[in-house]
């Protein structure tokens, strides 16, 4: 690392699109661990740096870098360096680091050793803001994780479980990963099978809603199928045995329902205090919304807590070859790895997708389209498909009334999150979740 000008790192970081600390003054940047990677004509340093700010908590980032006249440059701008990282994964190779080692992991077996072109083509994707993703040979997608966190990475953990312990294949199969082992341990990259000619579910749904005044049977059938895929995912998660404690289902207890209910009531107080200044009508709904949340604590507990997707919406599904594919098991980026790995009610995922339908309809309306009350039929078709696959599943409430109360409570939880997000980031859009809150019927 002595060939790199570390004094230039703060300025270098400020100019990277994946660096999330641009708004805060940097106090200093320290190299925590590093390894030298050599592949063909490319040699570079794989460095883990800790960024300490004048205010706030430190953050860690992965920097694959080479020396340059300006201090450092991103080594992954080189196709050969990118191939070198993938080779470490594909061969389960290892390289010593300052305090441990960089270890490749290949779980794809011989079948996963795809017939890739030589030289391996490298196509960079510019859609992500927080990581660096490339498509290799149009068959593998490699994601280099830029912002690192200690602990078990949920995307790797879930992908590995689905690929090696279940028959669920409606997801891009995890092929391998790259880990840093040692005091600064973290997952550095994940490699999945690439799904060509796929459209993300958000774009697909918007296009359909723009084209159709009323949802046709074909689209409703597709929404039922989406519900079925989610149900199949939850069944795969719930199939874990005691040999997989991170995924083994656990009984749903009264204290879980009370804790979740209290959390939603607390979020209601904070959120409505902020939102009611712009939308005074919300204040009149406070008590009925609190009743929604409190009813969750009064449900007779049945079912189980399981691992869930945790951040499910239309942008987390793909449409390819007339099939739905679920992906991105990273969880909500703002939450810690520990929090993202918690087991929960499967209905939280169902609620997340339902809220995404409402956003899609509202987005079309904001573009000048006429709302056509299409969310209800879409919601019903999706839930119908989900119930069809999961009927009798041990992780769901045994009572239909409890199912509805819990689902509505988790929809409310998601709505409150949306209000806070829009107030902070897109104030013009806050009307979408606010309108949904005003439409919520008083609980029976």
pLDDT of residue 278: 87
pLDDT (tens digit per residue) in 1-52: 445 677 889 999 999 999 999 989 999 999 999 999 998 889 999 999 999 9
Q: Which residue has the tokens 């490339």?
A: 134
Assign 189 to helix, strand or coil: strand
Backbone angles phi, psi at 300, to 5 degrees: -70, 120
End-to-end Cα spacing for the chain: 66
Assign 22 to helix, strand or coil: coil
pLDDT of residue 444: 57
Report CA torsion sign: 415, 260, 301, 155.
Answer: positive
pLDDT (tens digit per residue) in 157-192: 999 999 999 999 999 999 999 999 998 899 999 999
Instruction: Supply angle C-alpha 208, 226, 205, rounded to 5.
Output: 20
Which segments of the chain belong to CATH 3.90.1200.10? 199-439
pLDDT of residue 7: 82
User: Do residues 309 and 233 make contact, with C-beta atoms less than 8 angstroms apart?
Assistant: yes
- What the block records as the tokens of 435 is 């309108």
User: Do residues 194 and 172 make contact, with C-beta atoms less than 8 angstroms apart?
Assistant: yes
pLDDT of residue 215: 87
pLDDT of residue 371: 62
Secondary-structure class of domain 199-439 per CATH: alpha beta
Would you put residue 331 in left (φ > 0), alpha (ψ -120 to 50) or beta? Answer: left
The HSE-up count of residue 421 (CA atoms within 13 Å, CB side) is 11
- For residue 87, with 0-12 CB atoms within 10 Å meaning exposed, 13-18 middle and 19 or more buried, which class applies? middle
Low-confidence ranges of the chain (pLDDT < 70): 1-4, 111-114, 128, 369-372, 442-444
């Amino acid at each position: 690392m002595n060939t790199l000008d570390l004094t230039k790192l703060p300025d270098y970081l400020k100019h990277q699109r994946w660096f999330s600390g641009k708004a805060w003054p940097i106090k200093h940047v320290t190299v925590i661990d590093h390894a030298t990677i050599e592949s063909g004509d490319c040699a570079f340093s794989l460095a883990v740096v800790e960024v300490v700010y004048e205010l706030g908590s430190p953050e860690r980032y992965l920097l694959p870098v080479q020396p340059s006249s300006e201090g450092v440059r991103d080594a992954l701008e080189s196709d050969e360096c990118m191939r070198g990282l993938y080779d470490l994964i594909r061969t389960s190779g290892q390289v010593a680091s300052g305090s441990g080692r960089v270890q490749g992991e290949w779980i794809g077996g011989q079948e996963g050793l795809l017939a890739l072109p030589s030289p391996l083509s490298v196509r960079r994707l510019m859609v992500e803001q927080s990581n660096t993703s490339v498509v290799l040979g149009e068959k593998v997608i490699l994601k280099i994780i830029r912002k690192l966190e200690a602990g078990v990475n949920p995307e790797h953990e879930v992908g590995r479980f689905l690929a090696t312990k279940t028959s669920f294949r409606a997801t891009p199969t995890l092929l391998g990963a790259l880990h840093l082992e040692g005091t600064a341990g973290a997952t550095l990259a994940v490699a999945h099978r690439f799904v060509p000619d796929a459209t993300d579910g958000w774009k697909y749904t918007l296009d359909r809603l723009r084209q159709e005044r009323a949802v046709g049977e074909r689209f409703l059938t597709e929404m039922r199928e989406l519900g079925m895929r989610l149900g199949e995912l939850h069944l795969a998660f719930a199939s874990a045995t005691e040999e997989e404690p991170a995924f083994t289902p656990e009984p749903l207890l009264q204290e879980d329902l009370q804790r979740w209910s209290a959390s939603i009531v607390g979020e209601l107080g904070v959120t409505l205090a902020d939102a009611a200044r712009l939308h005074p009508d919300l204040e009149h709904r406070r008590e009925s919304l609190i009743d929604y949340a409190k009813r969750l604590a009064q449900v007779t507990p049945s079912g189980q807590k399981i691992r869930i997707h945790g951040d499910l919406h239309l942008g987390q599904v793909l449409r390819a070859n007339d099939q739905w594919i679920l992906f991105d098991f990273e969880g909500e980026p703002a939450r810690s790895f520990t929090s993202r790995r918690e087991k929960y009610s499967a209905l939280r995922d169902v609620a997340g997708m339902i809220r995404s339908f409402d956003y899609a309809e509202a987005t079309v309306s904001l573009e000048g389209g006429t709302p056509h009350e299409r969310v209800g039929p879409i919601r019903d078709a999706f839930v119908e498909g989900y119930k069809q696959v999961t009927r009798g599943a041990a992780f769901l409430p045994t009572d239909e009334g409890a199912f509805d109360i819990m689902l509505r409570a988790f929809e409310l939880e998601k709505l409150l999150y949306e209000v806070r997000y829009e107030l902070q980031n897109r104030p013009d859009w806050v009307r979408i979740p606010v309108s949904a809150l005003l439409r919520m019927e008083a609980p029976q």
